[in-house]
Amino acid sequence: MSGSGDILIVEIKSCLLDYRTDAKWQDYLEYCDRLYFAVRADFPCEVIPEEAGLILADRYGAELVREGIEERLSAARRKAMMLALARAAALRLQQHLDPGCSFEI
């Protein structure tokens, strides 16, 4: 989630085979304002859909090459996502503060 409340998803693909065999990324579009793919510099970027953002990355850093097309979430979906993210953050903080707790994220 960005500082302005935008919900972004970055799908990391390790290789072309990973990209071609994983179609679940299309399901993520309903849960974000923008979708990005992060790939290595030697990845064949022409297979990445034009509507998705593109990030070239290596072990030292990353560069945003192309912004994804913005598809704004509905107000109800945004509220549900914000609550889910807040709950996950609160549970992670609780586990950090009390490692013996049995809450599941």
How high is the pLDDT of residue 100? Answer: 81
pTM across the whole model: 0.83
The SS3 of residue 78 is: helix
Please state the rounded mean pLDDT for residues 80-87.
94
103 band by pLDDT with thresholds 50, 70 and 90: low
57 band by pLDDT with thresholds 50, 70 and 90: very high
Structural element, H or E, at residue 55: strand 53-58
- The answer on pLDDT for 9 being more than 80 is yes
The domain segmentation of the chain, as residue ranges, is: 8-72
**How many beta carbons lie within 10 A of that of residue 18, not counting itself?**
13
- The answer on pLDDT for 104 being more than 70 is no
Question: CA–CA separation, 17 vs 80, rounded Å?
Answer: 33
Residue 39 φ/ψ, nearest 5 degrees: -140, 165
Please, are residues 48 and 54 in contact by the beta-carbon 8 Å criterion? yes
Mean pLDDT of the chain: 93
Question: CA–CA separation, 91 vs 64, rounded Å?
Answer: 31
